[in-house]
Amino acid sequence: MTSNIIDGRAIAAELRGKVKDAVSKLESQPRLAVVLVGEDPASQVYVRSKIKFTQECGMQSVERRLPATATQEEIVETVRALNNDDSVDGILVQLPLPEGINSDAVIEQIDPSKDVDGLTETSAGRLMLGKSGLRPCTPTGCVVLAKSALGDLSGKHCVVLGRSILVGKPAALLFLEQNCTVTIAHSKTDNLPNVCRSADILIPAVGRPEMVKGDWVKAGACVIDVGINRVPHPNKPEKTRLVGDVAYNEAASVAGAITPVPGGVGPMTIACLLRNTVLAACARRGWKTPETLNV
C-alpha cells in the first residue's frame, strides 16, 4: 500500500488564507503579543515565523523580549502589563523559559480571554467541560489534518500515544468532540503495539525518535505524527536531521494517510495560533466569529 502524504504546509497555508480573509472583514486588526525570554535559537526561529505570519494575515504583532537573566517576577509583570493592555487580543509566552523559571506559574498569569495557546487552567477546564474557549494549537492542528484526510471522524477509533498536558490529553478531548472513540496509550500500556494497531487514527506524541514502527500501524490508518526529534544524520556525522515519533518509511508503506516530519503538524500549530488570535479578538470585542474559521 502507498499512503497519501498529508501536506501540513499546504493545509496550514489554506487555514492562514481563511484567517486573512476573516481579518479583512473585522472592524479593526487583532493584535498578538509574543513574550520571548532568553536567546534560545529554536525559540527565536519560532517567534520570527509567528510574527511573519501574523503580519501576513493582516494582524498586528507585539514583541516583548527579556534577557535570560530576567526574574520570574519580571516575566510575570510583563504578562500582566499585556493583560491590562486593551489593544492586545492574544498573549503567547514562548516556551521553554530559562532554567529556574516556573513556566506553569507564568502561563497561569495570562488572561484566559487572551490565552491563544490554550494552556491556562481555565482554558483546560473549559475544554474538559465541553465549554467554548480557546483550544491548544497543536492538538487542534491534529484534528484539522485528520479531517483533511478522512472527512467526518465520527465513529473512528483514535489512539493518542502520549499523555502530556500540552498535546496528549487535550488531543484526546478534541477527538472525542469529533465523536471518535478515544484511547490514550503511553509507556506503561500493556501490548502497546497492539493498541496502536487498533487505531483508525493514530496520534504519536511522546518525543521518542521513530518509536512507532510500521507493524504498529493498521493497514489504511491515518497517522498524525506530532513528534519532532533531532537525531544524528546517517550520512553526515557532523550534522543532524529531524524525525518524528514514527518510523516514517515503514509506516508510510502501511498507512492510508500520514504526515511527514517536518512539514506535517508543525506548520499547523502556527496557523491554529493565528486562528485563535482572531477568535480571541472576536470574543473580547463582541464581534461575530467568522464561520470560515470553524474546524
**Residues assigned a catalytic role:** 50, 94, 117
- Asked whether 185 and 142 are in contact (CB, 8 A), the reply is no
Q: Strand order in 90-93's β-sheet? A: 60-66, 31-37, 90-93
3-state secondary structure string, 154-169? CCCEEEEECCCCCCHH
Dist. CA 85–CA 287, nearest whole Å:
19
Residues 6+ apart with CB under 8 A from 199: 157, 158, 159, 183, 217, 218, 221
- Asked whether 78 and 85 are in contact (CB, 8 A), the reply is no
C-alpha cell at 110: 495570562
